[in-house]
Amino acid sequence: MIRANDKNIKTWIEVSENSDFSIQNIPFGIAKVNNEVFVATRIGDTVVNLYTVARLGHFDVAKDVFASCRLNDFMLLGKQATRDVRDKISDIFNANNAEAKNNVELQEALLNVNDVEMLMPVEVGDYTDFYSSEQHAFNVGCLFRDPDNALMPNWKHIPVGYHGRASSIIPSGTSFHRPKGQKKPPTEEMPVFGQSNLLDFELETAFFTYEGKPLGDSISTEEADDYIFGMTLLNDWSARDIQGWEYVPLGPFLGKSFASHLSCWVVTLDALEPFRTAGPVQNPKVLPYLEYAGDKHVDINLEVLIQPEGGEETSVCKSNYKYMYWNMNQQLAHHSVNGCNIKAGDCMGSGTISGPKEGEFGSMLEISWKGTKTVPMKDGTERKFINDNDTVIMRGFAEKDGVRIGFGEVAAKVLPAK
């Protein structure tokens, strides 16, 4: 058992009942206070400066990795170092540790979340986005082809993916401008240039990798857990009208590369271990390198909300990460099977996560059924896609046996096109 995951542990830090950040979570992020940037964790609404904790001699790893503006330096130490640090944090903030609770120097490491600016947690070197939700792929296939030809012939044989743009992956809270590009309206013979009128969110998660193997070697599904650092929420925005015109024959480009937002706390794979669950039966049988043993899917509740400017949030989707057809182990094994080298900080998007029922669809393309249905907001307005000045919010958590492991949220406001 992973010691920090013990469901019976309590903490001397105040944690509200429904907090995403229980003592069993211990995520990692990059925080900034008064121009000081450091690696942090969060317990309840308390952000813990891990550089301060390290300077007090609590960790067995070099303290300078916690003074970094990115988690990559810490990730380069590997999975055992992550596990050891989580275990030590769990011990320090255990309710039974009166010495730590009364340590004046340690108190200096504790900050209110409202006094902290959260930054991009990882310097992303490479970004791959998969297309691994069967219901989403089926829905899109129905919308653009027909139900009898919804899934492409390769879909159930490989975790389909594409290489995306790492530079435009940005942290939660960063507003962005509506993208512009070429579009071809169905009523026009020639393409036109202008702003995207079909701006859409995509409900996704992302996982980040440790340093992988050298170029030419591959990571098996059995080994994959040792190469996965942790997960965040991901809003992988899509400009559907730009994407629809450009994607043949080489796939997404300008319709995707303008912005992708991450939640700021990386929840470790270790913390999510108690929430593993069985995945769907994969039929036809996958090739041997994609076979895996045990429960490798994860039960994570997900929700998307739209907040018009000055208005209330309206929930438009409730889904779950367990609905994925292809799991992270298979995605990483497929990504590296050709000898592609994986680096510390690589980001792998899940692809849009849609459940089997209406209300569980992870994009407005599906929710509005390509614009044929409207979605009512609490302020009386309606949506088919995302309007200027809307804020899209995604939240996610896993919960079992009285323990809640959450991600916080990823939120971003859409500004008018420049």
State yes or no: pLDDT of 390 exceeds 90. yes
Q: If DSSP states are collapsed to H, E and C, what string results for 336-396?
A: HCCCCCCCCCCEEECCCCCCCCCCCCCEHHHHCCCCCCCEECCCCCEECCCCCCCEEEEEE
Give pLDDT, residue 25: 98
Q: Which of 58, 136, 297, 335 is catalytic?
A: 136
What are the boundaries of each domain within the chain? 3-118, 127-415
Domains 3-118 and 127-415 share a fold: no
136 is catalytic: yes
Extract the tokens encoding 71.
């988690």
CA distance 212 to 224: 10
Extract the tokens encoding 103.
């340590």
CA distance 393 to 388: 15
What is the per-residue pLDDT across 7-57, written as a single tens digit (0 to 9) for each? 999 999 999 999 999 999 999 999 999 999 999 999 999 999 999 999 999
State yes or no: pLDDT of 203 exceeds 80. yes
State yes or no: pLDDT of 1 exceeds 80. no
pLDDT-above-70 percentage for the chain: 100
CA distance 405 to 41: 13
State yes or no: pLDDT of 146 exceeds 90. no
What is the per-residue pLDDT across 72-127, written as a single tens digit (0 to 9) for each? 999 999 999 999 999 999 999 999 999 999 999 999 999 999 999 999 999 999 99
Extract the tokens encoding 112.
């209110």
What is the per-residue pLDDT across 111-124, written as a single tens digit (0 to 9) for each? 999 999 999 999 99
- Domain 127-415: CATH architecture, name and number where available: Alpha-Beta Complex (3.90)
State yes or no: pLDDT of 397 exceeds 90. yes
Domain 3-118 indexed as CATH 2.30.30.230: yes
CA distance 29 to 40: 5
